[in-house]
Amino acid sequence: MSNFDDKSFYSRGLDLYKKKQLDNSLNFLRRIGNKDLNTLKLISKIHIKKKDFNIAKTTLIEILRLDKKNLFALNNLGDLNKIERNFKDAEKYYKKSISYDGNLISGYFNLASLYEDKGELDLAKKNYLKVIEIDDKNYAAFFNLQRLQENLITEEIIKKIDEDLKINQNSKNKSIAYGHFIIAKNYRKKKEVEKELIELSKGHEIFFNSDPINKDAVNHWLVTVPKMVEKNFQFENHKKNETKSNNIEPIFIFGIPRSGTTLVETIITSGDDKIHNAGENFILQKALQKSQLNKKLQENEKTIKIDFSFLKKNIINSYIKQFSPQTEKFKFIDRTMTNFFFSEILLELFPNAKIINCKRNNFHNLIAIYQQCLNNLPWSHNVEDIKKYISIYNFKLKNLNKNYRKNILNIELKTLTEFPEETSKEIMSFCNLKWSDKVLKFYERKDLICTTASNIQIRKKIYKYDSAKFLPYKEYFDNF
C-alpha cells in the first residue's frame, strides 16, 4: 500500500471523525498499512468516545512502544485506568507524564483529581497548588481547591479573579466558566443570592458553549432517549435457561444527581457483607449499542425488538468480567444514573433486582444541581433543562413504582439524614444485607473511593438536612 493511500485514508478518517461518524472513520483508519502516531492517536480517541476502553488502552500502549515519552498516551492511560478503578496504574501513568515534563498542567491536575477521589486530600491540594504555580489563571484548579478547603481561596484571590474575568470575556473558555463558579460560591457564603445567581448563569452558559457536543447531548437525554423508551419493548429469543442470572443479585441505585445516591451507595458498601461495586459503568447502554450494531435490536415507530438472549449474555459477561467473582452467586451495585430510562429492560434481565430510588424535594434538587458544575451532564447547565430532566425522571419512576413495587425502595434524602440508623437498616434489609454500625461510620474507611461531586462531603459524618438554606432562592424561580 502506498504512502499516498495511507494519507488519503487518514484524511478521510479525520474528516469523518470531525463529523462524529466514528465507525465510518475507523473503517478508513484501519486500512492504513503503516499506522503512525497521529493515526494511533486518532484511533484511540475514537475508542475512548465509544467507551471501548480495552481497545483504547491497547492502542495507547502501542503509541508508547513508538514513543515512550508520549504525554497524550500517558495521560489517557491514566484516565482509563482511573475509570476502571485501577488507581495504582493511573497514578503511575500520571507521575510518569510529569517526570517527562515538569510543567505539564494536565499531569498535575489529573493526579490531584485522583488523590481527591481517593480521599488523600493533602496530596490533592499539593498538586492543585502546583497547577496554579505553573498557571495562575487556571480557575479549574482554584475551583477544586475551594471545594477542598474554602478558606484557601482568600478575598484577595477572589478580587483578582473577578478583575481578570472583567477583562477576559471569552464565551467558550471552560476556565473562565470556573472563575464565575468561584465568585458565585463566594456570594453564596455571604448570602447575596441575586449576585450568586448572576455568576452561576454566566458560568453555566460559558461551560455549555465550550463544547459543541453539549447541544446534541442535551437533545439525546431530554428528547431522543425519552421518546425511545416510551415505545413498546418486545423481547425475542427469550430462552430463560440459556444464561443463568438467578444467582446474580444486582442492586441498582437510581436518582437525580445531588439526591443522595452516593451516600446510599457508600452505606451499602460499608457493611460486613462482600458486595461488588460497579460504580457508573454504562454496561447496559453499551450492550444496547452492541445489539444495534449486530442487528439484534430493531426500532420502528412504535416498537423496539431486542434479541433478549444476545443482550443478556453481553450484559452478564460484562459484569462477570468486571468483578471476576469467585462463585456463581454474587451481589453487585450499579449506580449508573441513566439506567432509570431502561429500568424495564433491567428488570426483565434481572427479575430479582433491587432498585433504590433516591428522592429529594424537587426545588431543593434543582438548586443543588444548579449550584454545582457537573461537567459531564450538559443538561445541568440550564434551569429549564434541569426541570425537564427532573420531570422525566419523576414520571418514569412513578410508573416503575406502580408496576414493579416489590423491586423498589424509595429513600428520601431528608429522612435518611434525620433518621440515619433507622433508614440505613431499612436499606440493608431491603438488599438482604446485614446491618452493623459500620455502615454509618463509612467516613472512617481507608478504602473509600468517590468520583462524584460528593467526594468531599462523603468523608464526613451525616449531617441533618437543612431545608431553610433553599428558602432565599424561592423568589428567583418559578414554582417547581
> What is the rounded CA–CA span in Å between residue 114 and residue 94?
9
Backbone φ, ψ for residue 358 (5° rounding):
-90, 130
> pTM for this structure?
0.89
> What is the rounded CA–CA span in Å between residue 53 and residue 51?
5
Residue 295 has what pLDDT? 92
DSSP element (H, E) containing 236:
strand 232-236
Which 8-state DSSP code applies to residue 177?
A: H
Here the cell at position 322 is 468486571
Alpha carbon 307 to chain centroid, angstroms: 28
Half-sphere exposure of 379 (CA within 13 A, CB side): 21
Residue 330 has what pLDDT? 83
Residue 468 has what pLDDT? 95
Q: Which CATH architecture has domain 218-475?
A: 3-Layer(aba) Sandwich (3.40)
Backbone φ, ψ for residue 242 (5° rounding):
-70, -45
| Residues 383, 389, 393: CA angle, nearest 5 degrees | 145
Domain ranges of the chain: 136-210, 218-475
The parts of the chain modelled with pLDDT lower than 50 are 1
| Residues 299, 304, 306: CA angle, nearest 5 degrees | 105
- Judge whether 240 and 307 are in contact, CB under 8 Å: no
Q: What is the pLDDT of residues 195-226, one digit of tens each?
A: 999 999 999 999 999 998 999 999 999 999 99
- Judge whether 389 and 221 are in contact, CB under 8 Å: yes
Here the cell at position 116 is 481527591
Distance (Å) of CA 108 to CA 98, 150, 427, 451 = 7, 20, 39, 17
> What is the rounded CA–CA span in Å between residue 34 and residue 66?
12
Sheet holding 297-299, edge to edge: 232-236, 303-307, 297-299
Here the cell at position 361 is 424535594
Backbone φ, ψ for residue 150 (5° rounding):
-60, -35
> What is the rounded CA–CA span in Å between residue 61 and residue 76?
10
> What is the rounded CA–CA span in Å between residue 380 and residue 233?
29
